[in-house]
Structure 1
Amino acid sequence: MTALANEYGAINLSQGFPEFDAPDYLKQQLSEYVAKGLNQYAPSPGVPKLLDQIERLIESRYQVKVNGTSQVTVTAGATEALFVAIQTIISQGDEVIVFDPAYDSYEPAIELAGGKAVHIPLVAPNYRIDWQQVNANITSKTKAIIINTPHNPSAKVLDLDDFAALKKLLVAHNLLLISDEVYEHITFDQKSHLSALNDPEIFARSFVVSSFGKTFHSTGWKLGYCVAPEQFSQEFRKIHQYVTFSCFTPAQYALADMLEKHIEHVNELSEFYQAKRDALIDALQTSRFKLLDSEGTYFLLLDYSEISSLSDIEFCHYLVKEVGVAAVPLSVFYHAPNNDKVIRLCFAKETQTLMEAAERLCQL
């Protein structure tokens, strides 16, 4: 969709990356560490100062104490963390429960490990997990469950009841968990992000994945991290060392400084993105779209069923070519055919960009 948007000169609200830049302080620190010559390999698990700051961040956000040295591994983006976690625990014939719509890297990583993704579809407009359905899909081959909260692309968050049901299944069936929490610092309307880190019994069987790219508007740096119990981290690192070995050294130092000196950026992120969400919602009030609730992430879903009978893929192509706005169809996030007439917009954009896109969409 981004390539199509470029071809037609459309406003690009499709691909999930910020239009604005990383914080100035972060960029300054990166430049400083490059100039200082910190351009060689970092320790494979991560720069000690950054591991320490991640430990402090987790304690301040979740009131949970982890050991940064033995339980945190810095990765080349969250996607590497997800891949390595899957390779760490999945063997030939294992099954992994995945909730659709799902981030598209889950299934290929599972298949490369010799496993099978068992897809459970979530239904518009609420995209809530039916835990009884999950239980019915657990077999003797089931090894793990992957959750994503806040959820891309539905923009929903899991609540206490979800985690209670999840915990019950993990314990009853002795399952492992991969918790994709890359949008953990972007929740709205006073909703708190609930992490797998919050519950000791859940964390004891979990790999928790986070993203610096999402938090600091620096997706091109490809830096994230995985938090896991010590014995899991040891196995995780055996694979990580042969995937990337270590990650972008000067950026790790810069991120450590950012977390130490400007933690307010993290604390203000929800408010920052909620303002953008609300501006886009207000601008679309006169449109014929039905706006679905956005509880977290930087995505907003639109139901276009009153506008067109086209499939979501066809409708997104129409929007780019005829309306000049690029969106993403929800069906591409599903394993089985999905006929919901829902598209996704990314509002991690400048306000003027959002207003211009909304103006065009309101003309439909």
Structure 2
Amino acid sequence: MPELSRKLINFTDSVIRRMTRISDKYGAINLSQGFPDFDPPREIEEALKTAAFKGPHQYSITWGAQNLREALAEKQSKFMGLDIDPDTQIVVTCGSTEAMMASVMTVCNPGDKVIVFSPFYENYAADAILSGAEPIYVPLYPPDFSFNRVELESAFKQKPKALILCNPSNPSGKVFTLEELKFIAGLAEKYDSFVITDEVYEHIVMDPYKHVYFASLPGMFNRTLSCSSLSKTYSITGWRIGYVIGDERIIENVRKVHDFLTVGAAAPLQEAVVAGLKLPMEYYSWLKNLYTKKRDMFLQGLSEAGLKYVKPQGAYYVLIDVSEFNVRDDLKFCEWLAKEVGIGAVPGSSFFKEDVNYLIRLHFAKKDETLLKSIEKLKTLREKAQFYRE
């Protein structure tokens, strides 16, 4: 047999998706893979019913149906404070996963370097490696997951083609401050690098924190590829509708990559999701309040269970410190947790370049009754952990 691609040696399959399979195997409550167990807005459901019968059922325009791009441009122009052209500055993708992959492939040549903050969403390193690029990891330091400015500039001195910025951050829930973003912008300009943003949690930010779109900073639109998704905002993670927004020259080339990666996102779903983009501004306030209440409920339960955690500023994840249970292999611990406690979690080592095996990630994008049931199970963890053996 001929040799397979050597790129694949440098990463595993998705640990997050693996933990969903393990949760299913043991009938555990899946707090690993971040998707809700509640329905999307009724307006989207009704629009999907119509699209199911009336279509469209054939290919849409490769880079996104006209009405979807127009609705996206209108919404994002309001939130980003930019005048976005739906015909030249947007490409619709199959989820933000493809948006990120297409963006990295658009800007990187083989041998280029890409800065990735650690902890990171597991796809980023794989995106760089599959594009023939080399990740440069810069640590974020708990409890606020801030970066060291000297370390970040040292990474930029290696002349990276791009920096990947997840804001709000998965898995830590960090929301980057305006000062931090301005510092990154200064380095991107100084060393002539692109910035590829993952902003899928843009509307899940808890007070007093504020999300700032990197592309909205002075001079940054022309060097930013803004990636996002409708999955988290409208609770439709299975629809796989994402997008990239950027300068016309950039988007023209992202469209080329997208065309040959997936041709286009599902036409009926593109049609149906337009209804979500037309929801009033009050929807986004409601969404923030919803997740703020869920976070506070879940964190109170974790405190009652005696578990240590890092309070998230945004997104819907929380990192739990399990060092007291003498965990050496956090993947084995998460498998045990699913089987014996009935909770699906993600081992922290899958997010860190550093040697970190004392954190696990849980998410709180669930119905209140699911969260309360999860809390009751987690309250048994300390007692059951007496019998945990690796």
Give the TM interval when normalised to the shorter protein.
Answer: over 0.9
With normalisation by structure 1, the TM-score equals 0.95
Match of 1:332 in 2: 350
Report the residue type matching 2:356 in the other structure.
Answer: N
Match of 2:232 in 1: 214
Report the residue type matching 1:157 in the other structure.
Answer: V
**2:350 corresponds to 1:350:** no
Closer/same/farther in 2, CA of residues 104 and 284 from structure 1, 3 Å limit: closer
Q: Deviations over 1:305-339 (max 9, x none)?
A: 33444443233223222222111111111234324
Report the residue type matching 2:302 in the other structure.
Answer: L
Q: Deviations over 1:271-327 (max 9, x none)?
A: 111111111112222222112111111111211233444443233223222222111
SS in 2 for 1:126: coil
What is the correspondence of 1:163-182 to structure 2 with a 5 Å cutoff? 163-182=181-200
Closer/same/farther in 2, CA of residues 140 and 302 from structure 1, 3 Å limit: closer
* Distance in 1 separating the partners of 2:326 and 2:368: 27
Report the residue type matching 1:224 in the other structure.
Answer: G
* Distance in 1 separating the partners of 2:359 and 2:324: 11
Q: Is the 8 A contact 1:347 1:354 kept in 2?
A: yes
SS in 2 for 1:300: strand
Closer/same/farther in 2, CA of residues 134 and 318 from structure 1, 3 Å limit: same
Q: Deviations over 1:88-142 (max 9, x none)?
A: 0100110000011211222222122221111123233322122220111224541
Q: Is the 8 A contact 1:93 1:141 kept in 2?
A: no
**2:379 corresponds to 1:362:** yes
Match of 1:24 in 2: 42
* Distance in 1 separating the partners of 2:85 and 2:195: 19
Structure 1 moving runs of 4+ over 6 Å = none
> Which stretch shifts more, 11-20 or 69-78?
11-20
**2:106 corresponds to 1:106:** no
Q: Deviations over 1:41-89 (max 9, x none)?
A: 1112211211111111122223222112110111000010101101101
Q: Is the 8 A contact 1:144 1:178 kept in 2?
A: yes
* Distance in 1 separating the partners of 2:359 and 2:191: 35
Report the residue type matching 2:231 in the other structure.
Answer: G
Q: Is the 8 A contact 1:289 1:306 kept in 2?
A: no
* Distance in 1 separating the partners of 2:346 and 2:261: 30
Q: Is the 8 A contact 2:175 2:210 kept in 1?
A: no
> Which stretch shifts more, 166-175 or 49-58?
49-58
SS in 1 for 2:278: helix
Percentage of matched positions with identical amino acids: 35
SS in 2 for 1:344: strand
Choose the corresponding residue for 1:96, options 114, 123, 131.
Answer: 114
**2:289 corresponds to 1:271:** yes
Closer/same/farther in 2, CA of residues 261 and 182 from structure 1, 3 Å limit: closer
SS in 2 for 1:306: helix
> Which stretch shifts more, 143-152 or 13-22?
13-22
What is the correspondence of 1:279-294 to structure 2 with a 5 Å cutoff? 279-294=297-312
With normalisation by structure 2, the TM-score equals 0.89
Unaligned runs of 5+ in 1: none
Choose the corresponding residue for 2:135, options 102, 113, 117.
Answer: 117
**2:70 corresponds to 1:55:** no
Q: Deviations over 1:183-230 (max 9, x none)?
A: 111000232211113214122201001111111111111001100111
CA RMSD in angstroms, aligned pairs only:
1.6
* Distance in 1 separating the partners of 2:38 and 2:304: 27
What is the correspondence of 1:256-267 to structure 2 with a 5 Å cutoff? 256-267=274-285
Report the residue type matching 2:74 in the other structure.
Answer: R
Match of 2:322 in 1: 304
* Distance in 2 separating the partners of 1:295 and 1:106: 21
> Which stretch shifts more, 141-150 or 99-108?
99-108
* Distance in 2 separating the partners of 1:303 and 1:39: 48
Report the residue type matching 1:355 in the other structure.
Answer: L
Report the residue type matching 1:46 in the other structure.
Answer: G
Report the residue type matching 1:359 in the other structure.
Answer: E
> Which stretch shifts more, 122-131 or 191-200?
122-131
Match of 2:20 in 1: 2
